[in-house]
Amino acid sequence: MRTHTFLTAWALLLTPALLLGGCGSEATPTSANLVEPVAEAAFNEWATNNGEPYRDVQVTEESNDGFFATVRVFARFRPSADAPWQEREAYIERRQVGGSWQCDRDFRFVLSPGEVERTAEQRHDLCRQLPDGLRPQQPGGVVPG
């Protein structure tokens, strides 16, 4: 009887350590290759509810320590029928919880750096086409272009 009680107590002490991957070690993270599909599925759900046409979706893992991963979601959006397609990107944090990757459903897209540059060049080109009297002036009275 005494041996049985001792073994039961010993098993109860070891069980948490075994569940966590051994004495003193952290839990084993899930496979990193599961991060991008989870992020893409979350984006598709968000985009369906967003109601704005999109295409050319790219999901790239930027960093991953096994428990937290940063993912870049890149896509082209078209806000209206008379608007051109815009490149936008969002960085999303993913967390490995209970053996699976989870993420927030809050995608805060901003124009990609390339889109910002193209937009600035287009505005600059339009300003140069305006007559001198209609061109916007920079501080100090300098006319751009």
How many domains is the chain partitioned into structurally?
1
- Compute and round to an integer the Cα radius of gyration of the chain: 27
Does the pTM exceed 0.75? no
Q: What are 32-51's pLDDT values in tens digits? A: 467 888 889 999 999 999 88
Amino acid letter, 10: W
Q: What are 106-118's pLDDT values in tens digits? A: 889 999 888 888 8
CATH code where residue 47 lies: 3.10.450
**7 within some domain:** no
Query: Encoding tokens for residue 16?
Result: 């948490």
- Domain range for 87 is 28-130
**10 within some domain:** no
Sign of the alpha-carbon torsion through 102, 108, 112, 115: positive
Query: Encoding tokens for residue 133?
Result: 């009297």
For 35, other C-beta atoms within 10 Å of its C-beta total 22
**98 within some domain:** yes
**96 within some domain:** yes
**106 within some domain:** yes
Please report the pLDDT score of residue 20 as a whole number. Answer: 38
Asked if residue 32 lies in contact with residue 39, where contact means CB atoms within 8 angstroms, the answer is no
